[in-house]
Amino acid sequence: MTRLVFWLDVDNTLLQNDDVKADLDVHLQAEVGTDLTRLFWAIYEQVRKEKDYVDIPLSLSRFREQTPLSAMDEQTYQHVHSIFDNYPFYKALYPHVLETLQHLRTLGLTVIVSDGDLSFQATKIVNSYLAEAVEGRVLIYTHKQQHLVEIMRTYPGDHYVMIDDKPQILAETKASLGDSLTTVFVQQGKYAESQLPANFTPDITVPHIGDLRNYNAEQFLHPAN
């Protein structure tokens, strides 16, 4: 029997990250006001541009460094930090995510393979109950498509299924693994309507992550049939 291994992205694939960011903005404005909230997001974008991934701990650290105590005392900064540390990520899961993960586990091995900083992203995955849903199989990289050999060595399989909201990552991984990989484009979040990379068409495209509850192993193994 063919061993399927599912690689599942987190942000805007399993968890509504765009909505989380909007909600965090509301909480930040209530805590520090409009101007400092705008400063935080400017730092956030600067860090993301520098590192090519979201790094919340570094963004918060720079926010502290760039904001005088007269504008934000230490107690207020700790409150800001707490907003991120204690955010109820489990409330931001897309509909039917846990049921989908349970279904995929009946077909093969489910592994969360996520991008982001190792600290905050891990907190997000644990606090949303996603780590528990995949029995602790969680891998976090700054750029996961650069670690394919390591991922396959850690959780070997006969065929791999990459489920992601970012067409570029799907395209790069498909170019590396070819027919041993089935790419699943979940059209959620800010990349839902983005143009596909040249010479790439996802093997499977679904509007919602919950749609995968209706797929069987054969459809993942031979999506063109």
Q: Where are the domains of the chain?
A: 4-16+93-221, 17-89
Q: What are residue 136's DSSP bridge partners? A: none
Q: Given this chain, do its domains 4-16+93-221 and 17-89 carry the same CATH topology?
A: no
- Do 114 and 140 form a contact (C-beta atoms < 8 A)? yes
Which of 48-57, 92-101, 127-136, 163-172 is predicted least confidently? Answer: 48-57
pLDDT tens readout for residues 137-151? 999 998 898 999 999
Scan for tokens 């969680």, then name that residue.
Answer: 138
CATH superfamily placement of domain 4-16+93-221: HAD superfamily/HAD-like (3.40.50.1000)
| Distant-in-sequence, close-in-space partners of 208: CB < 8 Å, separation ≥ 6 | 94, 95, 96, 186, 187, 188
Distance from C-alpha of 129 to C-alpha of 112, rounded to nearest angstrom: 12
> If one looks up domain 17-89 in CATH, what number appears?
1.10.286
Is the pLDDT confidence value at 225 over 60? no
The pLDDT-based confidence of 224 (bands split at 50, 70, 90) is confident
Distance from C-alpha of 223 to C-alpha of 225, rounded to nearest angstrom: 6
Per-chain mean pLDDT for the chain:
95
pTM, entire model: 0.92
What is the rounded average pLDDT of the residues 156-174? Answer: 96
Neighbour-count burial for 20-34, b at 16+ CB within 10 Å, e otherwise? beebbeebbeebbee
What is the rounded average pLDDT of the residues 142-170? Answer: 95
